[in-house]
Amino acid sequence: MFVDRVKVHVKAGKGGDGIVAFRREKYVAYGGPYGGDGGNGGNVIFRVDTGRTTLLDLRYNRRMEAKPGGNGKTKKMHGANGEDYIVKVPLGTVVKNLKTGRILADLTHAGQEAIIAKGGKGGRGNYHFKSSRNTAPQYSELGEPGEEFDVQVELKVLADVGLVGFPSVGKSTLLSVVSKAKPEIADYHFTTIAPNLGVVQVPDGRSFIMADLPGLIEGASQGKGLGHQFLRHIERCRVILHVVDMGANDGRDPLEDYRIINEELASYEYRLMERPQLVLANKMDLEGAQENLQRFRAAYPKVEVFETTTIIAEGLEPVLYRAADLLETTPQFPIFDDSEEEENEGVLYKFEPEKPLFTVHNRGNGLWELSGEGLERTFRMSKLNNEEDFMRFARKMRTLGIDEALRNAGCVDGDTVVICGYEFTFME
């Protein structure tokens, strides 16, 4: 089964907790705090495996969860880092954040890997919090939660030359003749329902990868027929080989077929019409093919046309030579625009206001709620087990300016403040 799009849930490992411990050797006076830090959580990593050609494995394993980091130990010993979760995917895989649509990874090289969800940092042990005012701190940090979200994994076939055209024009036959690929060939439409790849050897020693892609119909760019299931796989192709049935075997007009297919390519994103395109006039052994070819050349005089009859392998060498020549001069076409690529590389070219650390929400009847990524991260890493923990958390909230923000918003003594589902009483 060919699977080329899967939605999965990724969850990186939580950081290990720091611990509270003290040095208690008999001959070491005032040993002091001795608690170690927690280990970092494992990452969820996607890695290219050239032995895979489909995302079938991910369909039956929709949750990828890395191991958490180990807790700290006494004698300032660091907890073990969590084990990474490795997801093996085929060449040409693209990983997107399902919520934001942002591309997280575009895996196009053998062995390439990318961290999709980053593990949380380990919490600090109590020896980090020793000071002249508090020489025996009873406080340590919890580990930071790892990143967790849904991603969409797409496979976009990694081929140099893509075959396009209406169903049953001879694309699969062409691939089977010029390579050792064995696509399904039959006398009915949509015989090919999944891309087939073959390595084509040019007589002069050059080679390239050709993809036989499912047939297009009018309206494919809006999802009709196989729609985007087809178009998704031509995004990486550098040269397009447009196969046209000049024999009009199905009663269609070759000129109209050529126009419709190009309109669908132009309507799709990723600038498909910027790629060099060769026209393969197929089935030239049929009656009326020469007349149709003359009409085609008259209507499109600047288009490169090659006469072939793929079923008997006639006229194919010039097409292969020309495709190989074009591949030497045609660059790769990125699947996302430059601005998005710069964003993925961490380069910012426009000013964006910094997100506030927290936001105050008045829920009415003396109920207030605080939200914000920075605040929630601080809260989740704070232990609240004893009086010292609560006092330290209160001081941290005051340092962040939360007390003042609540007062300015109208919060008064005795009101309830909610942080991450936990309720606190506001006191002056």
Tens-digit pLDDT profile for residues 173-213: 888 888 876 655 544 444 445 677 788 888 888 988 888 87
Among 172, 176, 175, 174, residue whose Cα is nearest residue 188: 172
Whether the CB-CB separation of 38 and 122 falls below 8 Å is answered with yes
For residue 113, list its beta bridge partners.
47
Average pLDDT over every residue of 395-404: 87
Rounded CA-CA distance 1/10 in Å is 24
Cβ pair 89, 36 in contact under 8 A: no
262-285 average pLDDT score = 83
Q: Could you give the 3-state DSSP secondary structure of residue 317?
A: helix
Looking at residue 118, what is its pLDDT?
A: 95
Report the distance separating Cα 88 and Cα 148, nearest Å: 19
376-383 mean pLDDT: 84
The rounded percent of the chain whose pLDDT value lies above 70 is 86
405, containing H or E segment: helix 402-409
**Strands 207-212 and 305-307, bridge-based pairing:** unpaired
pLDDT level of residue 115 (50, 70, 90 thresholds): very high
H or E segment at 59? helix 56-59
Residues with Cβ < 8 Å from 43, sequence gap 6 or more? 12, 13, 66, 84, 85, 115, 116, 117, 118, 119
Top pLDDT among 17 and 356 is at: 17
Per-residue pLDDT of 68-112, as tens digits, reads 999 999 999 999 999 999 999 988 899 999 998 888 998 888 889
SS3 138: coil
Which amino acid is it at 170? G
Q: Do domains 1-154 and 359-425 have the same CATH topology?
A: no
- pLDDT above 80 for 428: no
Binding residues: 165-172, 190-194, 212-215, 282-285, 309-311
Domain regions of the chain by residue span: 1-154, 161-334, 359-425
Helix (H) or strand (E) holding 322: helix 317-329
Phi, psi of 337, rounded to the nearest 5 degrees: -75, 170
- Dist CA 398 CA 106 (whole Å): 43
**37 contacts: CB under 8 Å, gap ≥ 6:** 16, 18, 72, 78, 79, 122, 123, 124, 125, 128
- Give CATH superfamily name and number for 1-154: GTP1/OBG domain (2.70.210.12)
Handedness of CA 372, 377, 378, 380 (dihedral sign): positive
The mean pLDDT of the chain is 83
The CATH number of the domain covering residues in 359-425: 3.30.300.350
Put simply, whether the predicted model's pTM sits higher than 0.85 gets the answer: no
Dig out the tokens for 11 from the structure: 């969850």
**CATH: 3.20.20.70, 3.40.50.300, 3.40.718.10, 3.40.50.11540. Which one for 161-334?**
3.40.50.300
Average pLDDT over residues 35-62: 90
Please count the residues of the chain: 428
Annotated binding site for Mg(2+): 172, 192
> Which of 17-21, 229-233, 362-366 has the least mean pLDDT?
229-233
CA proximity to 91, closest of 64, 51, 43, 45: 51
pLDDT tens-digit series, residues 299-348? 999 899 999 888 888 888 999 999 999 999 888 776 655 444 444 444 44
Residue 349: count of CB within 10 angstroms of its CB:
7
Q: Are 244 and 254 in contact (CB under 8 A)?
A: yes
Of 145, 112, 102, the C-alpha closest to 45 is 112
Pick from 215, 154, 208, 160: which is nearest to 184 by CA? 215
Give CA 244 to chain center in angstroms. Answer: 35
Per the annotation, binding residues for GTP are 165-172, 190-194, 212-215, 282-285, 309-311
Give the HSE-up count for residue 213: Cα atoms under 13 Å, Cβ half-sphere.
32
**Burial of 336 per CB tally in 10 Å (0-12, 13-18, 19+):** middle
Residues 247-257 pLDDT 10s: 887 778 889 88
User: Which residue type occupies 120?
Assistant: G
Based on DSSP, count helices (H) and strands (E) in the chain, helices before strands: 10, 18
Instruction: Give the separation between CA 339 and CA 355, rounded to whole angstroms.
Output: 21
Q: What percentage of the chain carries pLDDT values higher than 90?
A: 33
- Higher local confidence (pLDDT), 374 or 244: 244
Most confident of 2-6, 71-75, 190-194, 381-385: 71-75
CA nearest neighbour of 122 among 13, 11, 23 = 13
Indicate the pLDDT class of residue 215, thresholds 50, 70 and 90: low
Asked whether residue 227 carries a pLDDT value surpassing 50, the answer given is no
Helix 289-299 / helix 254-267 crossing angle, nearest 10 deg: 50
Of 42-46, 51-55, 130-134, 141-145, which gets the smallest average pLDDT? 51-55
Residue whose token pair is 């969860």: 65
- Phi, psi (5° rounding) for residue 139? -130, 140
d(CA 209, CA 204): 16
Taking every pair of C-alpha atoms in the chain, what is the biggest distance, in angstroms? 105
pLDDT at 146: 93
* CA-wise closest residue to 310 among 197, 175, 209: 175
